[in-house]
């Protein structure tokens, strides 16, 4: 991923406030990574988003409730076992505590807790395209993955993102358009983009971070030299050319994760009868509207998970914080 910057000591101090058994942690969002039209002062005012990966949600929440009971809404009175089940049962399998002040650092954070197994599932199958989508973009790794499983899943997720983006792009495109297409995978279909998010959000993320995107995807793109011709010089206006033969389209389709493939099969068969997946993907590769088919199926996954997770976040945040958070998002739409 990315190397730690000057803000790393602050993140370590934040982590010291929480139970230590976190197997992987990253920070993301406008409070961490520069976005277009945002100066340093604005970045500092933005809430910092963190994801904590844990092996045992019940045990972690029990310990965190002892350390930080004020982080939780009224759900804390139902106990750590309920919170863990609430986290793992629906939505994107993430439990968020939001608008948490850290007075010593003069910041506000939001942190989501996810089980290792659920993170691995989303990264490798795109069951929700929720955390997988966040890890399509440059993030700040605060605690590197313990063991190879998570890192291997992260690498798998990045490769899948390139295959999906190439299916959505025309034969010729710029480097900026490629990274925009990758970033947009997890935003297209997100109902929050209708209201509550800046409509230029994807452009604002990609433009100031082109070099970070290049570093993130360098090894993946190097492995695709047989189907993708990259410009010799790094420039967001340099032209990339991809092979769009039926054979290559099928190659990309076969490298999509499990849930987009299942969506494609269901869409093409209307769910009425069984048919060999390879035959269906072959038919899609020969279709003139394969881009629309792939885009529709990706949007459907994102729409479902974003709606369910947003509903799930209301009780976990509590009514007051939910209103505050929604209002701050709405203000960003008009600023």
- What percent of the chain lies above the pLDDT cut of 90? 75
pLDDT of residue 43: 55
199: pLDDT strictly greater than 80:
no
Query: Which of 206 and 275 is assigned the larger pLDDT?
Result: 206
Termini Cα distance of the chain: 31
38: pLDDT strictly greater than 70:
no
Q: d(Cα 214, Cα 224) in Å, to the nearest integer?
A: 14
Lay out the sheet containing 94-102: strands in order across: 94-102, 107-115, 48-54, 24-28, 140-143
Largest CA distance in the chain: 60
Average pLDDT, the chain: 89
179: pLDDT strictly greater than 50:
yes
Q: What does the pLDDT look like over 160-177, one tens digit per residue?
A: 999 999 999 999 999 999
233: pLDDT strictly greater than 90:
no
pLDDT of residue 191: 76
Q: Where do the domains of the chain lie?
A: 9-317
pLDDT of residue 195: 59
pLDDT of residue 2: 43
Q: What does the pLDDT look like over 9-25, one tens digit per residue?
A: 899 999 999 999 999 99
273: pLDDT strictly greater than 80:
no
Selection from 216, 48, 52, 211 nearest residue 145 by Cα: 52
pLDDT of residue 142: 94
At 333, the pLDDT band (50, 70, 90 cuts) reads very low
- Which residues are 114's β-sheet partners? 53, 94
pLDDT of residue 3: 40
Selection from 30, 220, 4, 191 nearest residue 108 by Cα: 30
The region, left, alpha or beta by phi > 0 then psi within -120 to 50, assigned to residue 93 is left
pLDDT of residue 287: 96
Mean of pLDDT values over 216-241? 88
Q: d(Cα 167, Cα 298) in Å, to the nearest integer?
A: 11
pLDDT of residue 59: 98
Selection from 14, 32, 22, 70 nearest residue 321 by Cα: 70
Q: What does the pLDDT look like over 132-159, one tens digit per residue?
A: 999 999 999 999 997 899 999 999 999 9
Q: d(Cα 101, Cα 148) in Å, to the nearest integer?
A: 33
331: pLDDT strictly greater than 50:
no
62: pLDDT strictly greater than 90:
yes
> Is the pTM higher than 0.95?
no
């Amino acid at each position: 991923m990315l190397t730690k910057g000057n803000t790393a000591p602050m993140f370590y101090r934040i982590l010291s406030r929480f139970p230590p058994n976190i197997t992987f942690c990253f920070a993301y969002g406008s409070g961490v990574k520069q976005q277009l039209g945002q100066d340093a002062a604005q970045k500092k005012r933005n809430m910092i988003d963190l994801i904590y990966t844990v092996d045992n949600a019940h045990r972690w929440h029990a310990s965190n409730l002892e350390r930080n009971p004020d982080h939780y809404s009224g759900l804390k009175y139902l106990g750590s076992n309920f919170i863990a089940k609430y986290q793992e049962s629906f939505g994107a399998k993430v439990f968020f505590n939001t608008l948490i002040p850290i007075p010593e650092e003069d910041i506000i954070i939001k942190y989501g807790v996810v089980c290792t197994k659920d993170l691995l599932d989303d990264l490798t199958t795109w069951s929700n395209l929720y955390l997988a989508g966040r890890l399509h973009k440059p993030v700040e790794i605060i605690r590197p993955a313990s063991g190879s499983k998570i890192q291997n899943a992260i690498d798998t997720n990045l490769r899948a993102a390139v295959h999906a983006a190439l299916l959505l792009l025309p034969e010729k495109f710029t480097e900026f358009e490629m990274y925009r297409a990758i970033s947009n995978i997890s935003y297209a279909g997100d109902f929050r983009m209708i209201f509550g998010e800046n409509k230029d959000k994807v452009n604002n993320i990609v433009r100031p971070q082109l070099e970070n995107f290049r570093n993130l995807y360098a090894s993946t793109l190097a492995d695709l030299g047989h189907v993708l011709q990259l410009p010799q010089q790094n420039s967001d206006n340099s032209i990339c050319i991809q092979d769009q033969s039926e054979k290559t389209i099928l190659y990309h389709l076969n490298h999509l994760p499990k849930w987009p493939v299942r969506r494609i099969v269901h869409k093409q068969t209307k769910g009425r009868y069984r048919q060999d997946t390879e035959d269906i993907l072959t038919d899609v590769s020969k279709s003139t509207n394969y881009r629309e088919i792939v885009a529709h199926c990706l949007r459907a996954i994102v729409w479902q998970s974003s709606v369910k997770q947003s509903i799930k976040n209301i009780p976990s945040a509590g009514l007051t914080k939910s209103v505050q958070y929604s209002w701050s998002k709405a203000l960003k739409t008009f600023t």
